């Protein structure tokens, strides 16, 4: 079959799997598939299941509602699923039960408008814990409709917290996230955590009598968002509240041991660190008072300079749980870790000698972006993405040398596309380090090799990283005739804390040097036309794009900076992320802004002679649109002729390129292609 090149429009045809959940008996995996509905300009997420046996009945769709479903979790007997659905009203998501023996899904809650997540069955199968945060009454749809009838204005917002807005959420409600328990028999809902602070996702004890929850205990949680502790609540909402013995610090993904003696989590003990330089490790905390001489909490991966969890970025790859997950005998913990461009499954034993590296269970040119284990710990569901697909379901048998593929969700499309495999390489950095990078060469390049227009694409974060997965946007650019380079410069995750922390206080310099080294490598290979190099990036990648065209503007023929940080001083007071004075940057926005300004691309606007396309969304709260406004205004005042500002509306936010409205995601890619064609391929039709 004759294969064709990838197009921008293929983005809407790709199906994205996420959240694999293997049944306790190990026979089936339920997961979510997100699809794009261009006619209604929306995404729909439905639940699917696949059997794990080779002779099983294969893939089956479970839900078909008009709204999306998510968060499916198995009952302990593997016979019932609970999930969240918006099928009746997207502003009032509810719990639904679906019995796998037959019948329709049944709504079992009547919660008010709000947000609902983090479902968890009690081990005895009688109750379901979940988190819920109601919408403030004056901001419900009903209240808004009533105001319209009487032509009244919106109510004033009284703001008392530093963190009053949140990317993807908007204004943070006055109400907090609380853990609730739903009784399956009586259909009653009981709140078990207090109303003073947000509560994290619930984790049941093996005896089904207690629920562990992470809560912040700082005097001001907005200034110390990682000052977290583990609280143990009675599942009936009564009785004594205790704490697990663990140091202050971030705590993700609680998992109670089978014996009930420990709780495992991903985190660290640097509670005042908020920027994400520190690697998260696997910890276990004692649930009861530790005997004299025992350590109350242990870092099981101490000394291992690897980030535990999934720190990968991408535009079409889904994710799931990262662990930790206990073995059935309680002697070991499974988890995902990000290391040198891959995400894999690892195992660490409680009996390992200190300093012993965890055992890597999966290996390949891929990223394992989610996993769960059955009750026996012998069968594990994996969501595995590769450079040639968006992620499929696999099953892994503990102790096996391989994992078996269960789905091929996008083969009907991918089999028709000429998808060049990315070329991975590393170059030597000036500090003696290695700089990893991928290159996608256009289809058929090796039949007619010659220097081509090239786009250097820089990732955001900054403390995240590229891995071995499919990136649709880069494949579409390569199909249009560009070489695409995407490096992990210093600041990226997956190469040790020193590598990640090298840009602390100097966001531009080290990463710029690393990126330029990758461009030089492409020139040496004969891939790249020196006169036709473009640069692009979003978020921190937008920052570094602005920084580089302000420092080495003559190196690039065109640039695209989107959702970027351009003025660190104003960002400190306008973004939803917590900034602290004299911390990551040795500066204060109010009385000592020197280092903020030195590190800001806006400071060097007069030197920006590269044609620049600025892209930003009005709904962006992580890097507010004022960042783009300032840079655009500065360049226009300096009479720079080749600058254009694309300002998307409030319906798109910081996540436009990965999850924005479908029509705007496609529009964005078309405009980026047009910009690079104008300056890198003006002779093309």
pLDDT of 292: 39
How much is the pLDDT for 296?
A: 78
Looking at the structure of the chain, the number of domains it has is: 1
DSSP state of 300: T
Nearest to 179 by CA among 213, 135, 225: 213
- CA 136 to chain centroid: 27
State whether residue 657 is helix, strand or coil.
helix
For residue 553, give its domain range: 420-680
Q: Quick check: is 52 in a domain?
A: no
User: What pLDDT is stored for residue 291 in this prediction?
Assistant: 44
- Quick check: is 437 in a domain? yes
Residue 113 belongs to a domain: no
| 253 sits in which H/E element | strand 251-256
Q: What are phi and psi of 399, to 5 degrees?
A: 90, -5
Kindly tell me the burial class for residue 65, based on how many C-beta atoms sit within 10 Å of its own C-beta (0-12, 13-18, 19 or more).
Answer: middle
Name 264's bridge partners: 255, 284
Q: Let me know: does 50 contact 59? Beta carbons within 8 Å.
A: yes
Residues 378-415 have pLDDT tens digits of 999 999 999 999 999 999 999 888 899 999 999 999 99
Please give the full DSSP string across 593-608, using - where no structure is assigned: -HHHHHT-GGGGGGG-
Please count the residues of the chain: 685
At 622, which CATH number?
A: 3.40.50.1820
* Crossing angle between the packed helical segments 540-549 and 509-524, to the nearest 10 degrees: 80
- Paired sense of beta strands 452-458 and 389-397, if any: unpaired
Closest CA to 551 of 522, 510, 592, 587: 510
For residue 585, CA distances in Å to 173, 376, 459, 638 come to 30, 48, 21, 28
- Do 33 and 56 form a contact (C-beta atoms < 8 A)? no
Question: C-alpha distances in angstroms, 190 versus 128, 230, 507, 583?
Answer: 11, 20, 47, 41
Which residues, given as ranges, of the chain have pLDDT below 70? Answer: 289-295
The 3-state secondary structure of 618-655, one letter per residue: CCCCCCCCHHHHHHHHHHHHCCCCCEEEEEECCCCCCC
pLDDT of residue 295: 57
Q: Are strands 558-562 and 528-538 parallel, antiparallel or unpaired?
A: parallel
Q: What is the structure's pLDDT at 293?
A: 35
Would you say 378 and 372 are in contact if contact means Cβ atoms under 8 Å apart? no
Question: Does residue 337 contact residue 307 with C-beta atoms inside 8 Å?
Answer: yes
Does residue 272 lie in a domain region? no
Asked if residue 575 belongs to a domain, the reply is yes
Q: Is residue 263 assigned to a domain?
A: no
Rounded to whole angstroms, what are the CA distances from 257 to 39, 235, 287, 293, 346? 48, 17, 10, 21, 17
Global confidence as pTM: 0.96
Per-residue pLDDT, 202: 98
CB 248 within 8 A of CB 270: no
Note whether residue 67 is domain-resident.
Answer: no
- Decide if 649 is inside a domain: yes
The whole-number pLDDT of residue 290 equals 43
Question: What stretches of 103-190 show up as alpha helix (H) in DSSP?
Answer: 141-150
Of the CA atoms within 13 Å of residue 406, those in its CB half-sphere come to 31
């Amino acid at each position: 079959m004759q294969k064709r090149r990838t197009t921008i429009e293929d983005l809407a045809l790709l199906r994205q799997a996420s959240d694999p959940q293997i049944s306790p008996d190990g026979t089936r995996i339920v997961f979510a598939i997100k699809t794009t509905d261009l006619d209604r300009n929306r995404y729909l997420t439905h639940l699917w299941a696949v059997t794990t046996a080779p002779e099983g009945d294969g893939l089956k769709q479970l839900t078909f509602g008009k709204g999306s479903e998510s968060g499916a979790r198995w009952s302990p007997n593997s016979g019932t699923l609970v999930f969240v659905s918006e099928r009746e009203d997207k502003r009032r998501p509810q719990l639904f039960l679906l019995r796998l023996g037959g019948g329709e899904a049944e709504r079992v809650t009547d919660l008010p408008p709000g947000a609902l997540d983090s479902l968890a069955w009690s081990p005895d199968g009688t109750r379901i814990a979940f988190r819920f945060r109601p919408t403030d009454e004056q901001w419900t749809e009903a209240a808004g409709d009533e105001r319209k009838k009487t032509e009244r204005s919106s109510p004033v917002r009284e703001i008392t917290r530093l963190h009053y807005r949140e990317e993807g959420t908007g204004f943070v409600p006055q109400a907090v996230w609380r853990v609730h328990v739903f009784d399956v028999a009586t259909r009653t809902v009981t709140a078990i955590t207090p109303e003073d602070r947000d509560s994290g996702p619930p984790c049941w004890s093996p005896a089904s009598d207690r629920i562990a929850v992470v809560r912040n205990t700082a005097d001001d949680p907005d200034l110390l968002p990682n000052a977290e502790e583990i609280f143990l609540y009675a599942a009936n909402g009564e009785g004594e509240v205790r704490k697990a013995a663990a140091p202050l610090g971030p705590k993700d993904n609680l998992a109670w041991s089978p014996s009930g003696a420990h709780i495992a989590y991903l985190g660290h003990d640097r509670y005042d660190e908020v920027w994400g330089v520190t690697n998260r490790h696997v910890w276990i905390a004692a649930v009861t008072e530790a005997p004299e001489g025992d350590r109350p909490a242990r870092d099981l991966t101490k000394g291992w300079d690897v980030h535990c969890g999934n720190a990968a970025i991408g535009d079409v790859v889904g994710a799931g749980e990262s662990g930790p997950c206990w073995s059935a005998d309680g002697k070991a913990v499974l988890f995902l870790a990000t290391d040198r461009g891959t995400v894999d499954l690892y195992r660490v034993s409680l009996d390992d000698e200190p300093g012993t590296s965890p055992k890597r269970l999966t290996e390949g040119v891929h990223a394992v972006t989610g996993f769960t284990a059955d009750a026996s710990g012998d069968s594990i569901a994996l969501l595995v993405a590769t450079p040639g697909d968006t992620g499929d379901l696999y099953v892994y048998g503990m102790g096996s040398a391989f994992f078996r593929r269960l789905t091929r969700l996008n083969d009907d499309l991918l089999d028709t596309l000429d998808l060049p495999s990315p070329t991975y390489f590393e170059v030597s950095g000036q500090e003696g380090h290695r700089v990893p990078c991928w290159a996608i060469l256009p289809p058929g390049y090796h039949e007619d090799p010659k220097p081509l227009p090239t786009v250097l694409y820089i990732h955001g974060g900054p403390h995240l990283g590229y891995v071995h997965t499919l990136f649709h946007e880069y494949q579409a650019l390569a199909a249009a005739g560009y070489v695409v380079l995407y490096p992990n410069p210093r600041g990226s995750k997956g190469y040790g804390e020193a590598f990640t922390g090298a840009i602390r206080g100097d966001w531009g310099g080290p990463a710029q040097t690393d990126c330029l080294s990758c461009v030089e490598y492409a020139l040496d290979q004969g891939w790249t036309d020196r006169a036709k190099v473009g640069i692009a990036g979003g978020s921190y990648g937008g920052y570094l794009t602005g920084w580089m065209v302000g420092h080495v503007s003559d190196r690039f023929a065109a640039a695209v900076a989107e959702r970027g940080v351009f003025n660190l001083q104003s960002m400190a007071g306008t973004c939803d992320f917590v900034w602290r004075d004299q911390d990551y940057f040795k500066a204060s926005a109010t009385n000592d802004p020197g280092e903020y300004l030195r590190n800001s691309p806006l400071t060097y606007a007069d030197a920006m002679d590269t044609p620049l396309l600025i892209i930003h969304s009005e709904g962006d709260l992580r890097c507010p649109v004022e960042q783009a406004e300032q840079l655009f205004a500065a360049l226009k005042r300096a009479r720079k002729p080749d600058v254009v500002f694309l300002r998307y509306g409030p319906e798109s936010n910081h996540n436009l390129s990965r999850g924005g409205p479908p029509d705007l995601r496609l529009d964005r890619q078309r405009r980026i292609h047009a910009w690079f064609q104008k300056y890198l391929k003006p002779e093309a039709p």
